């Protein structure tokens, strides 16, 4: 088994475990390590959806790092695809935006997440939503069929990001666009601190430099690349102080180095 398949296996196992947990247990975001983020309750990444139309608490497993639907320019009648749809949180928000004339498809490669999303869907009676099992690097869809693709704190966990964005490009209609929220880095975190950050918020483990992330998108063929939102993920001072001297901590703050949640939009011309 190569490293990419090993990573996928780890992600599948951990997110399957999260799907089986209660909402109380899922108090921290993006946990894919053996230690689910920390002993203390602290969601460093999770965005607050509770006031959005269509929100279903049962579908919100606190795994996101943004709200891509808020800035994705979703229109009535759009056919929308959500990558790594989990229990369906973003899909139910998107369903309210596309309306009865649109369609929402969620893609996830974890059986437990698909099952949980389907259970949530069954409560609604919606006929224009579906959840499909599949791999983001090799989507089970024909090309040129979606108006909008969204994703929330998922693509950073995909081993081959170039392949993932290539697949997004393939399934989008000409003139369509994507809007994804993801975790990226700027600068180089001190080695030990990065290890701790990865334990604290597992999404960090697959994060790459922001400039590299944007370059992959452009190389894939997308145009009009825009950062719609960018928020620094603040690790607790107590956590950082355990691994850095006061001088190192001060230098880190001044350097601009850090972990960021970004929401990026780009078009397929």
Domains of the chain: 3-267 (3.40.50.150)
- In angstroms, the CA 181 to CA 133 distance is 21
Estimate the share of the chain in helix, then strand, then coil, as percent rounded to the nearest 5. 40, 25, 40
Closest CA to 23 of 44, 43, 52: 43
- In angstroms, the CA 45 to CA 38 distance is 14
How would you class 98 by CB atoms within 10 Å of its CB: exposed for 0-12, middle for 13-18, buried for 19 or more? buried
Segment 20-67, tens digit of pLDDT:
774 444 444 444 333 333 333 334 456 778 889 999 999 998 888 899
Segment 162-189, tens digit of pLDDT:
999 999 999 999 999 999 999 999 998 8
Tell me the pTM: 0.86
φ/ψ of residue 195, rounded to 5? -60, -45
Segment 84-132, tens digit of pLDDT:
999 999 999 999 999 999 999 999 999 999 999 999 999 999 999 999 9
**Radius of gyration for the chain, computed over Cα atoms and rounded to the nearest angstrom:** 18
- In angstroms, the CA 26 to CA 86 distance is 13
Provide CB contacts within 8 A for 266, sequence distance 6+.
177, 178, 217, 222, 223, 224, 225, 226
The tokens of 53 are what? 């139309």
Query: What's CA 104's distance to the chain center, in Å?
Result: 17
Segment 194-217, tens digit of pLDDT:
777 765 556 677 889 999 999 999
């Amino acid at each position: 088994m190569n490293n990419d398949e090993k990573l996928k296996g780890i992600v599948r196992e951990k997110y399957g475990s999260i799907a089986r947990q209660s909402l109380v247990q899922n108090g921290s975001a993006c946990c894919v390590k053996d230690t689910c983020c920390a002993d203390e309750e602290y969601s460093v990444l999770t965005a607050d959806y509770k006031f959005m139309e269509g929100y279903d608490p049962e579908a919100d497993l606190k795994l996101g790092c943004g709200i891509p639907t808020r800035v994705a320019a979703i229109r009535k009648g759009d056919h929308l695809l959500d990558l790594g749809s989990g229990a369906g949180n973003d899909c139910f928000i998107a369903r309210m935006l596309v309306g009865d004339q649109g369609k929402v498809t969620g893609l996830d490669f974890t059986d437990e997440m698909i099952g949980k999303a389907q259970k949530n869907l069954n409560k609604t009676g919606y006929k224009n939503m579906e959840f499909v099992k599949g791999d983001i690097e090799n989507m089970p869809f024909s090309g040129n069929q979606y108006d909008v693709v969204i994703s929330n704190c998922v693509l950073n966990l995909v081993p081959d990001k170039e392949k993932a964005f290539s697949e997004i490009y393939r399934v989008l209609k000409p003139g369509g666009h994507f809007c994804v929220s993801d975790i990226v880095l700027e600068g180089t975190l001190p080695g030990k601190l990065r290890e701790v950050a990865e334990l604290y918020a597992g999404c960090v483990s697959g994060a790459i430099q922001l400039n590299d992330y944007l370059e992959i998108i452009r190389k894939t063929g997308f145009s009009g690349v825009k950062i719609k939102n960018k928020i620094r993920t603040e690790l607790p001072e107590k956590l950082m102080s355990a691994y850095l001297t006061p001088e190192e901590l001060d230098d880190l703050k001044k350097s601009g180095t850090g972990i960021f949640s970004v929401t990026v939009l780009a078009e397929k011309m």
